[in-house]
Structures are given as C-alpha cells and as structure tokens.
Amino acid sequence: MRRESGFTLIELMIVIAVLAVSLSIALPSFSRTIANSKVRATAESILAGLRDARSTAIQRNAPVRFQLVSSLDSSCTLLADSLTTSPPTPLQWITTETDQVFAGNPTGLCDMDAWSPPYPCVDSGAHHCVNDPFIISKSAITPDSSITVSADQPIVVFSPLGRITNDPSTMTGYGNNAATRIQVRSTITGTRQLDIIISAPNGSFKLCDAQAATGSANGC
C-alpha cells in the first residue's frame, strides 16, 4: 500500500502559531525602522534647506531667510502657529531673499513659484514686486503626519557672509542666539530623535542624534 504524504492539521496549526509569533516580534521593529527612515529624511530635507539658504546668501550677496511653515500653499503659516494644532501640523520649509518686498516673509504666499528675480525688482508674469516674496527654494519632501518638527526659532536668516543675522521683517534678534535647535521626532514609540543645531553667529550647523551617548561622534 502506498502511503500518502502531507501535513496534519496539528502540524499546520503549529506552523501558523510560529508565524504569528514571529510576525508579532518583527512588525514593531519594522515599524520603528520605517519611522526612523522618515525622521532622517525629514531632518536631511531641513538640513538641505539651511545649506541652500546659507550658500545662496553668500552667492547673491543678500540676506536669505529660512522659514519653517505649515504647508506650501496659500494658507502657510509659521511654525509657532502650527504648533497650536493637535497633533502638530506636519511642517515644510521655504527660503526667500530678505532685502526685497515684505522682507522675504512668505506667510500666506507659499504657493508662489520659486523665482530668481532681476535687480531692481521688475513686475513679470505671475510675480508682482508689491505682493510677492522672492522665493528661492522649497521643501521637496512630502510631510508625514507621524513626523513632528519643533524649533526654538521658526526663522533663521543668513547674512551675505553666511553668518546668522536678525530677521528684517521684525528685527527680532535671531543673530543674538547662542544656537537654534530644530528637533525632528516620530510619534511612534521607541524611535530616534534627530536635532539640527545652528550655531550663532558663525552660521554653521550640524545634524546629530539626540539619544546618542555623551561624547559620541554623532551626538548633540
């Protein structure tokens, strides 16, 4: 007589139970890995914006303002406003030249196209010298509701020498701060926090791991 081969019901139940246990262990770790990747992508996007603002200020010989905003449409507001929402509104950034109209303040005008303006300002197409900020660049990353950004200052202004200076729109003393810290976190428990430290007055900045051990090369 030929014997049939295959799995018994008990064997199948054991395999399913093992798979279930394995998934219950692996899924939280996988979720944290994805969240950590989103934190790093957001932090690196902000770092790219700061780098662009500083280099453009030097290149154009004009102050350039980096600003954290709630969106890139016509309803955009400063970071300080977005923090009043619960949970905080996912944030993006925008850079503008500050020696022109509105001192470079793009609040409520973030939907304008990036533009390299002529000098002196000349009305052209969709841009109007009286109403439009001179937008240089915008965040390329899509905001994620699981990522929150906070900062002790929502605006950083770089002088033509690449140093931190005052915000011309309010003359607030951003240039007098010892450092500006931007914190990027995930709402998922157990994930990393990355900070961007902008030192004044020299305008240097670095990306660091807020949870790294004291003295660590990548620590804050």
User: What would be the CATH architecture of the domain defined by 47-209?
Assistant: 3-Layer(bab) Sandwich (3.55)
Q: Are residues 152 and 181 in contact, defined by beta-carbon separation less than 8 angstroms?
A: yes
pLDDT at 127: 65
Give the start-to-end residue ranges of the domains of the chain. 47-209
101-127 per-position pLDDT tens digit: 446 778 888 888 777 666 666 776 666
Per-residue pLDDT in tens (0 to 9) along the chain, 220 residues: 455 555 677 767 777 777 766 656 655 677 888 888 899 999 999 999 999 999 999 998 888 889 888 888 888 887 765 555 555 555 789 998 876 544 677 888 888 877 766 666 677 666 666 666 778 888 988 778 888 888 877 888 898 999 988 766 665 555 555 568 888 888 887 888 899 999 888 889 999 988 888 778 888 8
Residue 36 burial (10 A CB sphere; 0-12, 13-18, 19+):
middle
| Residues paired with residue 180 on neighbouring β-strands, in sequence order | 198
Look up tokens 């509104």; give the residue.
89
pLDDT at 162: 92
Strand (E) or helix (H) holding 134: strand 134-138
pLDDT at 48: 93
Residue 147 burial (10 A CB sphere; 0-12, 13-18, 19+):
buried
The contacts of residue 214 (CB under 8 Å, 6+ apart) are none
Single pTM value for the model: 0.76
Q: Which amino acid is at 192?
A: R
For residues 173 and 176, what is the distance between their CA atoms, to the nearest angstrom?
5
pLDDT at 101: 47
